[in-house]
Amino acid sequence: MIKPEFWSIPADTLTPAELMDKIVALKQRLLDITSRFSDVRFATSLAAEDMVITDAIAKTKANIRLFTLATGRLHQETVDMTKAAERHYGLTLHKAYPLESDIQEFIDQYGMNGFYDGEEAKKACCSARKIKPLNTALLGADAWITGQRREQSTTRVELNFEEGDEARGIAKFNPLFDWSEADIWAYIKQENVPIHPLHLKGYPSIGCEPCTRQVKKGEDIRAGRWWWLQSDSKECGLHVNQ
């Protein structure tokens, strides 16, 4: 039986000068955001893109509050990565937890792992464990930041640097919107950014443990997210403005 090859960290493709231009531009974007808004928050998953932004925030000392969605179904490696990032950068990541009542309501209707049954159940689980906690974590903010990139999936190809988050009535920024996967990893290598251990095991995209698998070489980088659903169902609802 042939053992499958899994995704691996891409090789560098940028020249040192090109990478430096990217780094300078990213830091300027963050500073521009904080010059325009007084309460900016960043939702980090601890995966590669979000660690790049975390590194840039720390090095610019931009006034941005960092938080993570503690869904209750994360890999142990993600929990450990949260602590590692806090130690490395000397900061505290606010943990946004789901309400026990919301989780119990989902379990009562669908079962603990009912999200495997289809799109409706998956959305209900993401709503309880991610969207509602995100809404709470963003209360009082006038802008928030994500690690989304155009290259990540077909649902993000028209992504812009700045968006209006109509659902929450605040501004939303994607400072890595025009970065490639290779750009991300070039930054991480150059700036000695801590790496989530699952990236070294074939996971380019990391979410909750039951809903994330390794990605085979040649697959879409988000193929490991909600793999039992159609390819157009690779979003949890965090980035849907409605």
Contact 226, 233 (CB under 8 A): yes
Closest by CA to 238, choosing from 154, 160, 137, 157, is 137
218 alpha carbon, distance to own chain's centre: 22
Q: Is 236 a catalytic residue?
A: yes
Residue 78 CA to residue 208 CA, distance in Å, equals 9
Query: Which one is catalytic: 126, 208, 211, 236?
Result: 236
Contact 42, 214 (CB under 8 A): no
Residue 122 CA to residue 190 CA, distance in Å, equals 38
Exposed / middle / buried, residue 180 (Cβ in 10 Å: 0-12, 13-18, 19+): middle
Q: Please give the single-letter amino acid code of residue 63.
A: N
Q: Please give the single-letter amino acid code of residue 178.
A: D
DSSP secondary structure letters along 21-37? HHHHHHHHHHHHHHHH-
Residues taking part in catalysis? 236
